[in-house]
Amino acid sequence: MNLSLGPLLYYWSRDDVLAFYGEAARWPVARVYLGESVCSRRHLLRLPDWLQLAQQLAAAGKEVVLSTQTLIESESDLKTLRRSVSDGRFLVEANEWGAVRLLSKAGVSFVAGPTLNVYNHETLDVLAGLGAQRWLPPVEMSRATLASLLEHAPSGIETEVFAYGKLPLAYSARCFTARHYNLPKDDCQFRCLDHPDGMALATREGEPFLTLNGIQTQSAGVFNLIGELPALRELGITSLRLSPQSRHMGRVFEAFQAALAGEPTAAAALARVMPGPAVDGYWHGRAGLEHSVQNHA
């Protein structure tokens, strides 16, 4: 079982992005997903910049995957998608079925991303037949459902699980960050730049609940499966996806690497650098915001 760095879901300055991936080259990460998968208005790095980063990371020994935009709305979104597919140098993660069409037509193998909604073995088999070599279950899928799915899964396809980070829960045409500032989406003034880990949304009694990240809504809780490595191994999961956060990402990787090596203090080390309360309800078939340690206490 190895570690993947998921696509950057936030909008950071160009310098911060370059510095982040410069450091990532030294982390214990086998695979790096690059590209803008959330909002087409974010332009500080464009596809040629991501491709250049991809080359640098590949030269540093990382497997590189280009992650495509999840919500495709316009012809210009499709243009970017086609360029990612036609570049041909790197594996591509399809995050909606238009990308699946282009990749299968190009005859190249691809990664089936978590928003393709693969909830059963039959759909996974469709994707495997079209060239998917790796897939991710929807983030809401429980361990039990995943186990049941994998019993009938086609052979040869690898499973990667979203194992750490605020959960990407929803996508909209509306930008909730712009809405907060009373700005129209078309003139959002790129306020996402001021919120490197998204904007906290709490209930009226101050309980952290969600995170606003432009057109994407995430959990406030940080999903964390560091305590579930034996179960993940038993399921035959080959890769864990850790989702970028603005600070201490290197320590997140060190903690997971240590946990994979059986180091008992790894979970405690991770807890110190998490940007929110831990949650793991989805994995246990419950509400996503629940946490098993509290529940069983």
Partner 1 sequence: MPLDLICPAGSLVSLKAAIDHGADAVYMGFRDNTNARAFPGLNFDEAQAAEGLRYAHDRGRKVLLALNTYPQPDSWSRWTGAVDRAAKLGMDAVILADAGLMRYAVKQHPQLRLHLSVQGSATSYEAVNFYREHFGIQRAVLPRVLSLPQVENVVQNTDVEIELFGFGGLCVMVEGRCLLSSYCTGESPNSAGVCSPPKAVQWKDTPSGLESRLNGVLLDRYGKEEKAGYPTLCKGRFEVGGETYYAIEEPTSLNTLDLLPEMLKIGIAAIKIEGRQRSPAYVTQVTKVWRAAIDAVKKNADAFKPAPDWQAELNKLSEGQSHTLGAYHRPWK
Binding site for partner 1 (CB under 8 A): 70-75, 77-78, 81, 96-102, 115, 117, 119-127, 138-140, 145, 148-149, 151-152, 167, 169-176, 179-180, 184-186, 199-207, 209-210, 212, 217, 219, 281-282, 285-289
Q: Is 240 helix (H, G, I), strand (E, B) or coil?
A: strand
Q: What is the nearest approach in angstroms of partner 1 to the Cβ of residue 151?
A: 8
Q: Based on CB atoms, which residue is closest to partner 1, 63 or 125?
A: 125
146 vs 150: CA distance, rounded Å: 6
Measured from the Cβ of residue 242, the count of other Cβ atoms closer than 10 Å reads 23
Q: Based on CB atoms, which residue is closest to partner 1, 266 or 274?
A: 274
* Amino acid making up residue 32: V
Q: What is the nearest approach in angstroms of partner 1 to the Cβ of residue 144?
A: 8
Q: Based on CB atoms, which residue is closest to partner 1, 204 or 272?
A: 204
213 vs 177: CA distance, rounded Å: 6
Assess contact for 171 and 70: CB atoms under 8 A: yes
Q: Based on CB atoms, which residue is closest to partner 1, 145 or 257?
A: 145
164 vs 241: CA distance, rounded Å: 7
Q: Based on CB atoms, which residue is closest to partner 1, 51 or 215?
A: 215
Q: What is the nearest approach in angstroms of partner 1 to the Cβ of residue 257?
A: 28
Q: What is the nearest approach in angstroms of partner 1 to the Cβ of residue 91?
A: 19
Q: What is the nearest approach in angstroms of partner 1 to the Cβ of residue 249?
A: 23
Assess contact for 165 and 244: CB atoms under 8 A: yes
138 vs 201: CA distance, rounded Å: 23
Q: What is the nearest approach in angstroms of partner 1 to the Cβ of residue 109?
A: 17
Work out whether strand 110-112 and strand 91-94 pair parallel, antiparallel, or are unpaired. parallel
The H or E element containing residue 5 is strand 2-5
Q: What's the Cα-to-Cα distance from 75 to each of 72, 78, 106, 200, 219, rounded to whole Å?
A: 8, 5, 19, 32, 30
192 vs 173: CA distance, rounded Å: 16
Return the biggest CA–CA distance within the chain. 53
Q: Based on CB atoms, which residue is closest to partner 1, 60 or 106?
A: 106
Q: What is the nearest approach in angstroms of partner 1 to the Cβ of residue 178?
A: 8
Q: Based on CB atoms, which residue is closest to partner 1, 173 or 261?
A: 173
Q: What is the nearest approach in angstroms of partner 1 to the Cβ of residue 22?
A: 31
Q: Based on CB atoms, which residue is closest to partner 1, 62 or 143?
A: 143
- Cβ neighbors of 97 (< 8 A, separation 6 or more) are 116
